[in-house]
Amino acid sequence: MEELQMLRDLPAVANVSKDRITYSNAFKQVCVIRYLAGESPTKIFREAGLPPELIGYKRIERSVARWKAAVLKSVNGSSNMSNGEIITELVNLYVHAVTRKEKLDDIAGIANPDKANIENAPNSLDGANVSGGGYIR
């Protein structure tokens, strides 16, 4: 039960039950972007407060593979794009979605304590290591 509460408190987690963990959409998107940039799924999960010893190494790998496949379907022409181009497109889509959500929250009068962090979201991948990824097929 202590582990469930610890998971519930993480921004990367949308919901937890004794059988299942549902990750936030933002975490899934950022996870795929970082993975395509060459980071290890285990490292990404660990840095999000999700210990692989608790989640399971295979479960992490399968989740990232599933999210990557779904994301690639959402990027038009991704089969002919390099990882760097896909990452740039994903970052642009993510920033657009966050901006749209902020506008809807403003209309609805919902306070957003993370707004300062969102406003500083990157518009590009300056300095990101995306050159070694090659093409995804």
13: helix, strand or coil: strand
Give the start-to-end residue ranges of the domains of the chain. 2-133
Spatial contact of 64 and 97, defined as CB atoms under 8 Å apart: no
pTM, entire model:
0.67
Q: What pLDDT is attached to residue 28?
A: 94
Q: Give the residues of the chain that fall short of pLDDT 70.
A: 111-137
Please, which residues have CB within 8 angstroms of residue 56's CB and are 6 or more apart in sequence? none
